[in-house]
A and B are shown apart, each in its own frame.
Chain A
Amino acid sequence: MSTLAAIAVAGTAALATPRAGAETAGPNVAHFELKNGLEVVVIPDHRAPVVTHMIWYRVGSADEEAGKSGIAHFLEHLMFKGTKKNPSGLFSEKLAEIGGQENAFTSQDYTAYFQRVAREHLATVMEFEADRMTGLVLTDDKVLPERDVVLEERRSRTDSDPAAQLSEAAQAALFANHPYGRPIIGWEHEIRQLNREDALAFYRRYYAPNNAVLVVAGDVTEAEVRPLAEKAYGSIPMQPDVRRGARPLEPEPRAHRRVVLSDPRVKQPQLSRTYLVPSYRLAKPGEAEALDVLAHIVGGGSLSRLYRTLVVEKDMAVNAGAWYGGVDLDHSRFGIYATPKPGVSLESLEAAIDAVVARVAADGVTDAELDRAKTRLIADSVYAQDSQARLARMYGAGVVVGMSVEEIRAWPDQVRKVSADVVRDAASTWLELRRAVTGHLIAPPVKTEKPS
């Protein structure tokens, strides 16, 4: 539930950041490092003769310099334009021939490329991927049409959708100092100015083996992957200065902020709230797990506090829920959303939400709620193991934002340890209005006759 909501709220080029954690994620998740600093994670899953091959770079939109928003994502597009050794289109053609699937995604903290192929083609895709770690060739006849593609992507995702525009504004308001306030895809006026030199500069600065994590999941073993990875990636020289710098962090927030988007196309008003909260990396031990549990109790499914109160008991809303991000390098977000019934004002809905939050912060949660939330979160981590692609994403995202493989593996155990007190403390500490941005999506008021 929270993961789905996070996808919807992120609403950008990034695929959703998957949840950390899988109880016994494959029999043996291997983790090692090549001499040039490339980290490698191997997740065996022998049920189908296919593999998922992903390379994750420790660079995302939050690492862009001011004025160049969108360059991380634009470069992700341009990585498909060919290298000296494999000119434009050859990698994709090869994948098309062997029946492989490919794509890429950009988030605030990382940029990742993946292929899914029959297991015997792993070496082939590794060679191609390794080649484009340093061999990218860009010319304006490829770069300029692709910039138009990105502008179309922005129009599709954001500029045609009032809800996405509001979400973008809320994100900008939540982060006064940290670059998480910029949209991943970039601001339109800045995307228009991005060029070949910008992309190559970003590429040369950040794309290197010692700034990347290789994840291979599927019908392979560590013993098979290690020599293949050595052969394909091992000879790429490390770059001593590649690591990204620390981003400026948010000050302690003082004021509740509001963003309102009024558009005649809005036929269904919506309310959203996001709180500035710690990520797994920045949280105290157990605190992030408590936020995951809290999100489920407050807003996961039809038994949650928000749904029971707003939708069932007060009959004010048609849906309501909550989510917690968590898998971020710096700050993270806790979100609440609700859709009012016709005739219910967003102001009254907001007051009802505030009351739900205040109650959980003051009185905590029941044992039954705690048990149900843990059961669901832990079962989800078992269900997640059904998909090698999902496991690859979980481990990749976790490792690039600074979690260890052991931490990711142990996540269900940490969830089990969460106590009701810690959940209540998480609510009272972090769900404070001064830490939040509240968004209202509304239609403009109906024009009435001019009063005389």
Chain B
Amino acid sequence: MNRAIVCAAMTVALMSAAPTPSWSARIDRIVTPAGIEVWHVRDNTLPMVSMEFGFVGGAAQDPEAKPGVANLMASLLDEGAGDLDARAFQERLEERAIALSFSAQRDALRGSLKTLIEHREQAVELLRLALAQPRFDAEAVERVRAATLAGIRRRTTNPSDIAGDRWFARAFPNHPYGRPSRGTLDSVASITTDDLRVLHANTVARSNLKIATIGALDAADIAALVDRAFAGLPAKAKLTPVPEAVPQGAGERDIVDMDVPQTVITFGGAGLKRSDPDFIPAFVLNHILGGGSFSSRLYREVREKRGLAYSVYSYLAPLDRAGLFLGGVSTRNDRAAESLTIILEEIRRIAGAGPTAEELAKAKSYLIGSYPLRFDTSGKIAEQLLQIQLDDLGIDYIDRRNGLIEAVTADDVRRAAARFLADAKLLVTLVGRPNPAPSISVSAPGGRG
């Protein structure tokens, strides 16, 4: 049966049938009068404008002894700025239904602004204040600190949160990635207003800023709004260098006892960074292993055939200073060890023999065909444009991307697999009462096949 050839032919047909989004040619790279770069898409469908922006830095810039500063700072930027205290600031937002939010990710402070077009001037003024003159009033700091602590307390009893936090703590000892982005009960309690001000002064600047916008405005309007919001920021960020890191603990099994009917498992190891030439082949490989929702090998073997879990998955997590391969499953205690064995065996199998030609063709076809679904709302378009800038992929990436997927060969996939799956023993954290407990000596994948 020559199914591989049939599939390949089909893929070519699909390529032409699934063009890149029609607006990709309309991405404007604007450099404002103040010299700030912004990628903009003009779209007049709705009377609104969306902006996504990021300052490189994020939780990785937290002081070593005080994880959680970036997170607390992000939560406080819209809690009073300039002459406006928290209440006045929130009233200004609410009166015009302006949606402004900030969050600290591991490698960037992210922000998002959404407004009706008629309120854009007020929206941008509030953004400017939040970024340039946050107040960090004692009242707001204590209030947001209390909410943050409550969230952390809640996480201490959530099996999935514990499994994830433990995994990162063990994989990255003495590295910012090993510390919880939200901080700990102790560290958050100890954060001072000075900590917030220092991190703000060091990390909110023009040199580490990326911006994407979409909405019913032309380039000149966008440039004016962007300058109003960002031009007054310091020119240069003072970032603490974050060292390159490789996850530790390979082959270890970290079991956290908890009286729950199900064991939550996080597994992972070194992956590939986004800038790695083999990232795209690795991405295709992971799709086949555990990425495709109802079609991956892990889904089939663990859920479909054996009913061991509701959710099982793997993914590539390319951080700025470390490439990661991660996955998870939740399964009843008495079959947790079995689930883990099956997952590790599937990883071993795909690392050894690679995917079949049919699997490869179908994965490429899916990834190419589904790409437009990432761009069907303004918010998603702006997020994609921002991520492409943060990943430094180039403004033509959207047009090139499906070609990159299409070009992936079986050899590419095998090469990528050899780089991050073969011999890569995984670190596994288990939260629950797995019985039997998984053997410590189990490791994946052993063979070079």
By a CB distance below 8 angstroms, the chain B residues around A265 are 157, 258-259
The minimal Cβ–Cβ distance linking B90 to chain A, given in whole angstroms, is 5
Measured in the bound complex, the distance between the Cα atoms of B22 and A193 in whole Å is 51
Is B83 on the interface with A (CB-CB < 8 A)?
A: no
Please tell me if the beta carbons of A152 and B86 are within 8 angstroms of each other in the complex.
Answer: no
Please tell me if the beta carbons of A159 and B46 are within 8 angstroms of each other in the complex.
Answer: no
Is B122 on the interface with A (CB-CB < 8 A)?
A: no
Please tell me if the beta carbons of B372 and A48 are within 8 angstroms of each other in the complex.
Answer: yes
Which among B55-63, B277-285, B300-308 touches the partner chain? B300-308
Please tell me if the beta carbons of A382 and B157 are within 8 angstroms of each other in the complex.
Answer: no
Measured in the bound complex, the distance between the Cα atoms of B159 and A303 in whole Å is 33
- With A47-B43, A92-B294: A383-B262 Cβ-Cβ less than 8 Å: no
Please tell me if the beta carbons of B311 and A379 are within 8 angstroms of each other in the complex.
Answer: no
The minimal Cβ–Cβ distance linking A197 to chain B, given in whole angstroms, is 19
Is B439 on the interface with A (CB-CB < 8 A)?
A: no
Please tell me if the beta carbons of A92 and B295 are within 8 angstroms of each other in the complex.
Answer: yes
By a CB distance below 8 angstroms, the chain B residues around A92 are 294-295
Please tell me if the beta carbons of A160 and B310 are within 8 angstroms of each other in the complex.
Answer: no
Please tell me if the beta carbons of A47 and B376 are within 8 angstroms of each other in the complex.
Answer: yes
Residue of B whose beta carbon sits closest to that of A142: B304
Looking at the complex, which one of B47, B94, B310, B376 makes contact with A153 (CB distance below 8 Å)? B310
Which among A34-42, A97-105, A356-364, A406-414 touches the partner chain? A97-105
Count A/B pairs, Cβ under 8 Å.
183
Is A49 on the interface with B (CB-CB < 8 A)?
A: yes
Please tell me if the beta carbons of B379 and A386 are within 8 angstroms of each other in the complex.
Answer: yes
- With A149-B309, A156-B262, A375-B96: A383-B114 Cβ-Cβ less than 8 Å: yes
Interface residues in A, total, Cβ within 8 A = 67
The minimal Cβ–Cβ distance linking B406 to chain A, given in whole angstroms, is 12
- With A118-B372, A303-B91, A318-B150: A156-B47 Cβ-Cβ less than 8 Å: no
Interface residues in B, total, Cβ within 8 A = 75
The minimal Cβ–Cβ distance linking B120 to chain A, given in whole angstroms, is 13
By a CB distance below 8 angstroms, the chain B residues around A301 are 90, 94
Please tell me if the beta carbons of B97 and A49 are within 8 angstroms of each other in the complex.
Answer: no
The minimal Cβ–Cβ distance linking A24 to chain B, given in whole angstroms, is 10
Q: Which of B81-113 contact A (CB under 8 A)?
A: 86-87, 90-91, 94-97, 99
- With A48-B375, A149-B307, A303-B90: A118-B10 Cβ-Cβ less than 8 Å: no
Please tell me if the beta carbons of B97 and A99 are within 8 angstroms of each other in the complex.
Answer: no
Residue of A whose beta carbon sits closest to that of B148: A318
The minimal Cβ–Cβ distance linking A363 to chain B, given in whole angstroms, is 20
Please tell me if the beta carbons of A99 and B368 are within 8 angstroms of each other in the complex.
Answer: yes
Is B18 on the interface with A (CB-CB < 8 A)?
A: yes
Is B367 on the interface with A (CB-CB < 8 A)?
A: yes
Please tell me if the beta carbons of B308 and A387 are within 8 angstroms of each other in the complex.
Answer: no
By a CB distance below 8 angstroms, the chain A residues around B2 are none
How would residues 160 to 203 of chain B score, 1 for a CB under 8 Å from any chain A CB and 0 otherwise?
A: 00000000000000000000000000000000000000000000
Residue of B whose beta carbon sits closest to that of A373: B94
Residue of B whose beta carbon sits closest to that of A266: B157
Please tell me if the beta carbons of A383 and B330 are within 8 angstroms of each other in the complex.
Answer: no
Please tell me if the beta carbons of A99 and B150 are within 8 angstroms of each other in the complex.
Answer: no
Please tell me if the beta carbons of A319 and B147 are within 8 angstroms of each other in the complex.
Answer: yes
Please tell me if the beta carbons of A382 and B48 are within 8 angstroms of each other in the complex.
Answer: yes
Residue of B whose beta carbon sits closest to that of A376: B97
Is B260 on the interface with A (CB-CB < 8 A)?
A: yes
- With A99-B366, A156-B262, A383-B99: A267-B157 Cβ-Cβ less than 8 Å: yes
Please tell me if the beta carbons of B294 and A80 are within 8 angstroms of each other in the complex.
Answer: yes
Residue of B whose beta carbon sits closest to that of A151: B332
Measured in the bound complex, the distance between the Cα atoms of B14 and A339 in whole Å is 52
Q: Which of B17-38 contact A (CB under 8 A)?
A: 17-19, 21-23
Please tell me if the beta carbons of A49 and B19 are within 8 angstroms of each other in the complex.
Answer: yes
Please tell me if the beta carbons of B369 and A267 are within 8 angstroms of each other in the complex.
Answer: no
Is B266 on the interface with A (CB-CB < 8 A)?
A: no
Is A239 on the interface with B (CB-CB < 8 A)?
A: no
Which residues of B line the A interface, CB within 8 A? 7, 10, 14, 17-19, 21-23, 43, 45-48, 50, 86-87, 90-91, 94-97, 99, 114, 116, 139, 143, 146-147, 149-150, 153-154, 156-159, 258-262, 264, 292-295, 303-311, 330-332, 362, 365-373, 375-379
Q: Please list the 3 inter-chain residue pairs (A to B) with the smallest Cβ-Cβ separation, ordered nearest first.
A: A99-B369, A148-B307, A379-B97
Would you mind naming 29 contact pairs between A and B with Cβ atoms under 8 Å apart?
Answer: A47-B43, A47-B45, A47-B376, A48-B372, A97-B362, A97-B365, A97-B369, A100-B369, A100-B370, A101-B370, A102-B293, A117-B369, A145-B305, A145-B306, A150-B310, A152-B309, A152-B331, A155-B332, A156-B262, A160-B261, A160-B330, A268-B157, A303-B87, A312-B139, A319-B150, A378-B97, A382-B48, A385-B46, A388-B377
